[in-house]
Structure 1
Amino acid sequence: MKTLLKLSILVAVVALMFTPSVTAQSYLQNPKYGVDEEARKECATNLSLYREQYNHRNYDMAKPYWQKVLTICPAASQNTYIHGARMLKVWIDAEQNPNRRTELIDSLMMIYDLRIENFDRKGTLLGQKGMDLASLASDRYEEAFAYLKESVEMEEDASDAPVLYTLMAITKTMYDNQKLSAENVIETYALIADYLDVQIAEKPTDTRLQQVKENVDAIFSGAGVANCDNLTQIFEQRVENNPDDVELLSKTYNLLSANRCEDRTFYRNTAEKLFAKQPTSNLAYELAKMFDRMSSYSKAETYYKEAIKLEEDSVRKSIYLVEYAGIVFNNLKKPQEARSLALQSLTFNPQMGHAYILIGNIYAAEKNCFTDEFQKKTRYWAAVDKFTKAKQVDPTLENDCNKLIEVYSQYFPAQNDIFFQDLSLGSRYSVGCWINESTTVRARP
């Protein structure tokens, strides 16, 4: 009885709200509230009645008024559809009858269609529609896949992260049920991964996006479709036919890299083609490391130079320089050039202890500078100085440096040899040749 009285009062209030006035006249003339004045009054009444019950979570009581709003004035408010979707999900969760539950799910799908029809935003709403269907009716995965796929095709890198994740999950379900090929799965993953990378680049501190990307990667890995043979078979001819397609090159390279196909010729060729079209320090460095592992040192040298030139971060540039210096010394046998590169590394990062270690090893290995036996041994003073400096600037290298110092100190001149050279322990000494270092006279331990 109280409820009926309350509703009667509410109807009366609504009627008063829409008595003729300037505001009411403009409201009653708005076609989105109905085809004529009478319909618009009825729309306003039912809007107020359903919202009152909805706000108190009396969804069953709100239902008849909400349904009238959908019939009379479907374009009146987006909230009609937002509220309707929420109510339908509550009813679906509570429904025990399978047939009735299916009818309610169909009604929810219809609500999305009506909202798109009246308020557009098709791409976004298809994504929400697909996610709801996937969660409420897992057996209708093909239908959900179609909605999600169309949504992502429309929204591209503006797609909501949960939509991208759900599309990847449903894609795997489609593959597991022989509805999609391995190629389809790989293509879909590559697209989703690219879009998530764009979003992460725009919001690098968003841990939610990072988690979605990890989950998408896990689903793709679990699908078991990505291996080097599959990727080569699917993409090699495409890359060959479209060598200037940067998007294809990037997608292919990322897939090959994610699946550790570095030993494949196709991987190297793709990486080099991509670098030629879109050079970056990271890609140049990857190519340099790859060719170093292959003992293709001239190629490694080429890409180290590119990585160093393109890199803007001083610490990374320092790392590239000292690694390149190692190749120049160990493999190209150019000790003076290697030292120059190591010293250049220190200008970008004075704490680069590995640069000092490399210079020390270069000095210790030098055999062409001196003919005099005593002078040959003085190079070890200069070498040990560099090992000592390395552990000073980078204490994490202390153990390694101490071992090197212990080894090469054994090659210092004997004390009597120092005496015969008319030198005294602790005095300064200039190591000649191209080494040209000032050091301290020390005897073999």
Structure 2
Amino acid sequence: MALTAGLSLTSKLAAQGKYGATPEDSVECIMNLSLYSEFYKQWKSSGYKNTAINDAYGPWREVYNGCPGARMGTYVDGVKMLQFFIKRDKVAESKNAYIDTLMMVYETRIEYFGKEGYVLGRKGVDLYQLRITDYEEAYGVLTKSVELDGDASKPDVLVFLMRATKKMIEEGKIEEDIIFDNYDVCSKIIEVNLEANQADERRLANWENVRGNINLIFEPFATCEAIIKIYTPKFQENPDDLKMLKKLTRLLDRKKCTNDQLYFDATVKLYDLEPSPESAYLIGKMLMKNQKYSEAIDYLKEGEQIDDSETRANCFYYIAECYRMMNRFSSARTYYVKSAKERPADGNPYIMIGDMYAASKNCGGTELEKKAIYWVAVDKYVKAKQVDPEIADVANDRIRSYSIYFPPKEDIFFHNLNEGDEYVVECWINEKTRIRAAKN
């Protein structure tokens, strides 16, 4: 039997004490609390499988109606029981009555125990899952939950907000650009939580999974063509809208839509209105793509002040790339090293340093000195695959390619040197290595 008719909470109850309005009510409340709690424990200890739930349900209902402020556990347990009944019930009418009751329980919990953002999140997820026809209400509930909880929003709430957003667009209830707004909100929350849970593998994996799910929902809407089509008129109509500019540049950058003129125009405008390391970084990236390396470096160096370590590592790497393209190898190495320190598991900076060493064929006066550059180049490739196994194939290819240019044993002997001895490669490199002979 569904519970809806028995759970009408009146305003009079709101004024009651914790266990009821009168001493008699309190006695009855405590008795029902004890009864339902005992049967609930039996049900729980059976793995939520035995019939003790049927005995727990009646006294639980009395507690809910008679002393709704007694304890928060009443609502936690009630949700669990109602979800069980909903799953078990095959009759549409009674199933819907249970769903109505579940929604009411969430609202009453907020009234007595607060935590509105969190509880609305639970309500919205359940409503969307259990009664998809109420997607519009679920969308409103989930939106409010995320607005209230912000970075503390639960992972599944973000996923279901995006699902509800997609459904609302498909049903013509909201404009398509809303999914870009909600994706931006969810992505920022996810990034905050990824950063905060670096030391917790389980939570980190959970948030990464959420990011993947949200990207899958967003993907059909997220082509560069669609983003540019939606936001070009918005930008043209109000180019000084700071909030829109931040969202647009983040979105274009995240979706790698950085070759379009809109990206550059929006980024420059954002920098003009609110100069910041973040906007300077975006302009620097765009200038680098346009091969304006010297100008790019000026902007990218402003980006060194960015708080996010991942972005800062990218910033250092791009500065290094600009210097390398300008043949300023020493400066490039300085920034590749900075990038490697910021992102220790990335082997690419060492690959690039090795490539610069291998390209420095004019270092040294003698034939042996010229070949010594390959020792330090190979050292960097070995380092690259040590810190980043994913690029081991790239590193090994270079090691094979350049090891054949090591000096032969007779040249080493001719210069009164021995294999395995320490050797300093001079020129701009100025780095210690070990003497090795080419293999025959």
Per the normalisation by structure 1, the TM-score is: 0.69
Q: Is the 8 A contact 1:342 1:359 kept in 2?
A: no
Assess if the C-alpha contact under 8 Å between 1:342 and 1:358 holds in 2: no
For residues 58-69 of structure 1, the aligned pairs below 5 Å read 58-69=52-63
Note closer, same or farther for the CA distance 1:199–1:318 as it changes in structure 2 (3 Å cut).
closer
Corresponding pairs, count: 361
Partner of residue 42 from structure 2, selected from 38, 48, 56: 56
Q: Does 1:341 align with 2:339?
A: no
Q: Tell me the distance in 1 between the aligned counterparts of 2:368 and 2:281.
A: 34
SS in 2 for 1:104: helix
Cα RMSD, aligned residues only: 3.7
Which residue is 1:41 aligned to?
27
Gaps of 5+ in 1: 1-29, 330-337, 367-376, 410-424, 429-433, 438-445
Which structure: larger Rg? Answer: 1
Distance (whole Å) between structure 1 residues aligned to residue 143 and residue 157 of structure 2: 9
- In 2, the alpha carbon distance for the partners of 1:436 and 1:76 equals 74
Contact preservation (8 Å) 2:19, 2:29: yes
| Distance apart, 1:202 and its partner CA | 1.3
Which of 376, 384, 390 is the equivalent residue of 2:377? 390
Deviation at residue 160 of structure 1 after TM alignment? 1.0
Identity percentage over the alignment? 27
Q: Does the CA-based 8 Å contact 1:363-1:380 persist in structure 2?
A: no
Matched ranges for 1:41-440 at <5 A: 41-57=27-43, 58-205=52-199, 206-221=204-219, 224-236=220-232, 241=238, 243=240, 245=242, 248-272=244-268, 277-279=275-277, 287-303=283-299, 305-306=301-302, 319=317, 322-329=320-327, 338-341=328-331, 344=334, 352=350, 354-355=352-353, 357-358=355-356, 361=359, 364=362, 383-395=370-382, 396=395, 397-401=398-402, 405=405
Q: What is the deviation of 1:269?
A: 3.2
Which moved further from structure 2: 194-203 or 294-303?
A: 294-303
Distance across 1 between alignment mates of 2:355 and 2:283: 25
Deviation for aligned residue 1:31: 1.9
Task: State the Cα distance separating 1:234 from its structure 2 match.
Answer: 3.8
Q: 1:270 to 1:218 in 2, by over 3 A?
A: same
Matching residue's letter, 1:70 = Y
Task: Quickly say closer, same or farther: Cα 1:341–1:36, change in 2 above 3 A.
Answer: same
Q: CA–CA distance in 1 between the matches of 2:186 and 2:195?
A: 14
Deviation at 1:215, TM superposition (A): 0.9
> CA 1:97–1:300 in 2, change beyond 3 Å: closer, same or farther?
same
Report the secondary structure of 1:56's partner residue: helix
Q: Secondary structure at the match of 2:94?
A: helix
SS in 2 for 1:32: coil
Q: Deviations over 1:202-248 (max 9, x none)?
A: 11242111111111111111xx2223343234445656746583x54
- In the other structure, the counterpart of 2:47 is none
Q: Deviations over 1:131-159 (max 9, x none)?
A: 11112112221121121111111111111
**Deviation sequence 1:245-279 (CA, Å, 0-9, x none):** 3x544432221123221111221233445566331
Do the aligned residues in 2 keep the contact of 1:156 with 1:195 (CA within 8 Å)? yes
Unaligned runs of at least 5 residues, structure 2 = 1-15, 44-51, 342-348, 383-394, 408-413, 418-426, 431-440
